């Protein structure tokens, strides 16, 4: 329970006898007890300032001021020193809001209670519409703009647009769906597309007539049932050597012999190759071999064929065998037509050099240009040169009487 209020009522006065009459007792101390006789004195009292007191003193009119009794006590016996005690009830509230009974405390407080907003979990009026406080609402039930914090990083527009913005691919500088080639998934690409580099296809072979094919697949199909240079470890050759005449021919001591070959793809060239049906060695200084492009410019060459490093090996096997000379440096050759040119100065003792594999050459001047192109596939420059010229005039190439086989590796 809580403390209840006593005193300051219409019957709360001290009276004393005077000349046979009763008068008010001014400034009389009054104590309070638990019984009419004897009992225990209540000393746990509070004045209206919530200060502890043990008794109450009547005022100049004999009235007892208001005070608070002990916790939970609803009535006490008052003793003004007159020999008898008078019983006092705590004040009660007979009607508040339609209810009955006395108010014992307010929010746990007794006495003269003064409540604050905090006591009833309310917001102080001083906190309304202030920094660190709470916002109020306007007539529309909205927080006034003045009470809102300053906006940070406000978006004024999006890509130059305001209002309800709807962006498309063009607005953000991106290609629209269906206008670019996807990295994955099926897609139909219309129109002619030109590639700056050769596309790389998967390793699988095509299975329908409209599918693209890799070079390796095309090469294999082109030589289907036939032998290719690659089958013999070569990069390119003049023709299938199995179709050559079995008896070799001497290229002659001094003239420049020429055989054209075609590369179908970029290839690194390291050696110039011939097939000799017999060779006893002994080439002399002034012997050389070189590679020229389709314009006649020299692009690679061997060293002096009379030296041990560059002279082709001797060949004495039945049917002969492959002989070659290394280039002074490997050459990365792009696809196209190339001319293998060489000059062999014979051994001065035997007056002979390698007998080289050649195509049928019984005619005095067999053809070296075929079809409607100007490509010369075989030829000779009867006026030799002691070293490989930096260029050859392809149009000045003579037919010659022999069509020698040569290759690149």
At residue 93, the pLDDT reads: 42
Judged against a pLDDT cut of 80, whether residue 261 lies above it is answered with yes
Cβ neighbourhood burial of 398 (10 Å; 0-12, 13-18, 19+): middle
| Weakest-pLDDT range from 152-156, 159-163, 400-404 | 152-156
At residue 103, the pLDDT reads: 63
Choose the final residue of a domain: 65, 89, 113.
Answer: 89
Same domain? For 84 and 233 the reply is no
At residue 178, the pLDDT reads: 74
Alpha helices in 240-332 (DSSP H): none
Domain that holds residue 26: 5-89
pLDDT digits (tens, 9 = 90+) for 123-135: 787 877 787 778 8
Judged against a pLDDT cut of 80, whether residue 21 lies above it is answered with no
With respect to residue 239, please indicate whether it lies within any of the assigned structural domains: yes
Q: For residues 404 and 107, which has the higher predicted lDDT (pLDDT)?
A: 404
The answer to whether 237 and 231 have CB atoms below 8 angstroms apart is no
CA dihedral (137, 143, 144, 147) in degrees, to 10, reads 110
pLDDT digits (tens, 9 = 90+) for 34-89: 999 999 999 999 999 999 999 999 999 889 999 999 998 999 999 998 888 999 99
Q: For residues 283 and 224, which has the higher predicted lDDT (pLDDT)?
A: 283
With respect to residue 31, please indicate whether it lies within any of the assigned structural domains: yes
Choose the final residue of a domain: 46, 61, 89.
Answer: 89
Choose the final residue of a domain: 89, 120, 150.
Answer: 89
Structure tokens at 333: 């050759």
With respect to residue 325, please indicate whether it lies within any of the assigned structural domains: yes
Unique residue bearing structure tokens 């049917």:
319
Beta strands in 168-244 (DSSP E): 236-237
With respect to residue 384, please indicate whether it lies within any of the assigned structural domains: yes
Number of structural domains in the chain: 2
Angstrom distance (rounded) from CA 40 to CA 71 = 15
Q: For residues 153 and 260, which has the higher predicted lDDT (pLDDT)?
A: 260
Query: Which H helix or E strand runs over 78?
Result: strand 75-79
With respect to residue 179, please indicate whether it lies within any of the assigned structural domains: no
């Amino acid at each position: 329970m809580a403390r209840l209020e006593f005193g300051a009522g219409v019957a709360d006065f001290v009276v004393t006898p005077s000349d046979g009459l009763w008068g008010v007792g001014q400034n009389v101390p009054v104590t309070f007890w638990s019984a009419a006789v004897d009992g225990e004195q209540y000393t746990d009292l509070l004045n209206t300032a919530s200060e502890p007191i043990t008794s109450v003193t009547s005022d100049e009119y004999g009235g007892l001021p208001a005070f608070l009794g002990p916790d939970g006590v609803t009535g006490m016996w008052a003793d003004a020193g007159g020999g008898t005690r008078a019983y006092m009830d705590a004040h009660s509230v007979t009607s508040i809001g339609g209810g009955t009974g006395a108010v014992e405390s307010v929010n746990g407080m007794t006495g003269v209670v003064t409540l604050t907003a905090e006591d009833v979990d309310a917001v102080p009026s001083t906190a309304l519409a202030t920094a660190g406080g709470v916002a109020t609402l306007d007539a529309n039930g909205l927080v006034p703009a003045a009470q809102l914090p300053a906006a940070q990083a406000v978006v004024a527009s999006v890509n130059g647009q305001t209002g309800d913005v709807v962006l498309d691919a063009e607005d953000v500088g991106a290609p629209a769906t269906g206008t670019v080639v996807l990295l994955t998934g099926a897609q139909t690409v219309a129109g002619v597309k030109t590639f700056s580099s050769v596309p790389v296809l998967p390793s699988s072979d095509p299975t329908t007539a409209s599918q693209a094919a890799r070079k390796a697949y095309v090469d294999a199909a082109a030589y289907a049932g036939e032998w290719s240079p690659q089958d013999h470890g070569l990069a390119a050759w003049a023709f299938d050597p199995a179709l050559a005449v079995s008896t070799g021919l001497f290229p002659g001591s001094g003239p420049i012999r020429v055989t054209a070959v075609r590369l179908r793809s970029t290839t690194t060239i390291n050696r110039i190759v011939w097939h000799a049906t017999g060779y006893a060695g002994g080439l002399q200084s002034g012997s050389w071999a070189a590679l020229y492009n389709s314009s006649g410019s020299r692009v690679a060459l061997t060293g002096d064929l009379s030296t041990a490093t560059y002279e082709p090996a001797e060949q004495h096997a039945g049917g002969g065998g492959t002989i070659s000379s290394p280039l002074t440096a490997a050459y990365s050759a792009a696809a196209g037509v190339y001319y293998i040119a060489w000059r062999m100065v014979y051994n001065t003792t035997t007056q002979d050099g390698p007998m080289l594999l050649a195509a049928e050459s019984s005619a005095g001047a067999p053809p070296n240009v075929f079809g409607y192109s100007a490509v010369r596939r075989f030829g000779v420059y009867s006026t030799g040169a002691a070293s490989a010229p930096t260029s050859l005039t392809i149009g000045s190439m003579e037919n010659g009487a022999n069509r020698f086989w040569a290759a690149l590796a």
